[in-house]
Amino acid sequence: MALHYFHMLNGKLTPDLTGGDFADLAAVRGEALRAARDMLNLGAIDEIWRGEPWKILVTDKPTADSKAILTIEVIASCEPAK
C-alpha cells in the first residue's frame, strides 16, 4: 500500500495534507474519480462555466507542487449560439 494525496484546484488550491493509503493504481484512479465528482457537486455551479479548468492532482507527497501521478481536469464553457 502507498500513500497518495488528492490536491484540488478550482480557482484556489486546496491541498490534501492527510492523504490516503491505496492498494494499487486502480484504487487510486477510483478515488480520484470520486473526488472529482464530489468537487463538481460541491462547487458553485456558475464558476464551472467560466472556462477555468478544475483539477485534481494526485501526488505521492503532501505538496501540490510535487510531480503528479495522475490528473483529472474538467473544463466547461458556454458559447453563445450562432
pLDDT value for 37: 87
Answer yes or no: is pLDDT of 53 > 80: yes
Answer yes or no: is pLDDT of 34 > 80: yes
C-alpha cell at 28: 487510486
Region 23-31 average pLDDT: 93
Q: Is residue 35 part of a domain?
A: yes
Q: Is residue 34 part of a domain?
A: yes
Q: Is residue 82 part of a domain?
A: no
Q: Is residue 31 part of a domain?
A: yes
Domain total of the chain: 1
Region 40-49 average pLDDT: 71
Helix (H, G, I), strand (E, B) or coil at 27: helix
Q: Is residue 15 part of a domain?
A: yes
The answer to whether residues 20 and 6 touch, using CB atoms and an 8 Å cutoff, is yes
pLDDT value for 2: 83
Top-confidence range, 8-12, 56-60, 75-79: 56-60
60/64 Cα distance (integer angstroms): 10
Q: What is the largest CA-CA distance in the chain?
A: 52
Q: Is residue 70 part of a domain?
A: yes
Q: Is residue 60 part of a domain?
A: yes
Helix (H, G, I), strand (E, B) or coil at 53: coil
Q: By residue range, what is the domain housing residue 29? A: 2-74
